[in-house]
Amino acid sequence: MISRRIISLTPLALALTLSGCSIGPDYLRPKNWLPALFTEAPTAIAQTDTEVAAVDSRWWALFKDETLSSLIEAAHKENADLRLAVARVEQADAAARESGASLFPTLNGSANGSNTGLSEKTATWSANSPSVLRSRSAGVSLSYELDVWGRVRRANEAARASLLASRYGRDSVRLSVAGLVASNYLNLRALDAQLAITAERLKSREESSRLTKVRVDAGLSSPLDQYQADGALAAVQAQQADLRQARALAEHQLALLTGNPSLKIAAGDLRQMPLPPVPPTGLPAQLIENRPDIRQAEQNLIASNANIGVAKAAYYPKFSLTGALGSESKTLSDLFSASAGTWSLGLGLLMPIFDAGRTAAQVDQARALNQQSLINWQYSLQVAYKEVRDALVKLRENAAGEAAQAQRADAAAKALQVAQKRYEAGYSGYMDVLDAQRSSNDAQLAAIASRQARLSAAVELFKALGGGWQAEAS
């Protein structure tokens, strides 16, 4: 009968808990004051529906490079920073489950057996007193905090928000890792292209040095031309060594990012990669709300807001329900007999009376942390907005710069042809040829650097937007 009483009180306690109010402010999302559109993007009628605001989580596939895609996928599995982020999510998930368990009663089982020898020299001892007291007991106990003021619910709300924040933190690391791999891969492919140009230039310099020697031996040119040709050849050889070193270091960095120390990447060419996609017209600023770091900052704001309620609940009484049901006897054989039953049922109250301002200080701390979280969320939005604008400007201006560098490289190549013909015809010295070769080499390398900058700007834009954007419907 007693057990039925305890069981019947549990729904009542739950009802009291659920009907209680939750101390502290409910979360209201702050207003986003950002402009509707990015002014650096092509202007058009604003499109701010959810379809346009969608992002592509596999934005790197737009570069249509299987090696790049495989490297990013490998990094998402093996990168150390990302594995740490996953472990933090698992920790936050366990913490959220621990907090959620506080919403339910705690039931514990116990068993006891003891033998106690009594002293014959005590005032209470008599000849009829036993020399040994024996006790055997077993039972279950229940404890439960009645969440009248919503302290446990606010704590659970904060734990859930912290879990979501850790998941968005993991997604932010994923995005960052993908961006790092893409940027380093573009750098490596740019070095490959520069090495290809340098190899062609080296063959040209070797041929020029050979022809110059023939002309010097025939008395058609001065030995000065030979020295200049040999010096120009050595300069290209040194340039090639520097590029090989830079490529090896870029490959090593990709090996670290992908968690594959023995990574080897076959030679490629940046010039074979497709141009980055152009953002749609009227790019909405709300796209940055999809960034995981922005969502993480908001979940931290939600958690800190809930913690104000946790702190304020300390102003109010704390109710706890306890109960126990079991049996006790001197012998184990009588432990579960009908007359050995024991029970207890209690309702406890803990009322704060004086704490020298400790609770008020804790509430002030919680409010200050909430204000910090709000400022951090607002600042994260500002940083994200700036990063998108920067990337859009880079994408636009690097496209113009690439076109100009292509014209420069074409003009330098034609100037080299003219200089070589004039030298062969005896109208100019070999120094003009060397100057033209140097200018053509610099122009070609600059054109590759400009293409790399344009592709890198696209990577920056994808990262700044939290992934990318959805193409407009045709």
Please give the Cα distance from 384 to 290 (Å, whole number). 11
Query: What average pLDDT is seen over the chain?
Result: 81
pTM score: 0.77
Please give the Cα distance from 414 to 397 (Å, whole number). 26
Type of residue found at 130: P
Three-class secondary structure of residue 143 per DSSP: strand
CB 48 within 8 A of CB 286: yes
Half-sphere exposure of 212 toward its Cβ, with a 13 Å CA cutoff? 25
Higher model confidence: residue 110 or residue 277? 110
pLDDT band at 51 (very low <50, low <70, confident <90, very high): very low
Q: Is 174 exposed, middle or buried (0-12, 13-18, 19+ CB in 10 A)?
A: buried
User: What mean pLDDT comes out for the span 157-185?
Assistant: 90
β-partners of residue 133 are 116
Type of residue found at 9: L
Please give the Cα distance from 131 to 116 (Å, whole number). 8
- pLDDT for 182 equals 92
Least-confidence region, from 22-31, 122-131, 154-163, 408-417: 122-131
DSSP state of 261: T
The helix (H) or strand (E) run that includes residue 288 is none
Whether the per-residue pLDDT at 225 is higher than 90: the answer is no
User: Do the strands 318-329 and 132-146 form a parallel or antiparallel pair, or are they unpaired?
Assistant: antiparallel
Give domain limits for the chain. 23-102+150-317+358-464
β-partners of residue 146 are 319
Whether the per-residue pLDDT at 121 is higher than 90: the answer is no
Q: Is 280 exposed, middle or buried (0-12, 13-18, 19+ CB in 10 A)?
A: middle
- pLDDT for 277 equals 67
- pLDDT for 297 equals 93
Q: Which two tokens stand for residue 90?
A: 């698992």
pLDDT band at 2 (very low <50, low <70, confident <90, very high): very low
Give me the CATH topology for the region 23-102+150-317+358-464. Outer membrane efflux proteins (OEP) (1.20.1600)
Whether the per-residue pLDDT at 439 is higher than 70: the answer is yes
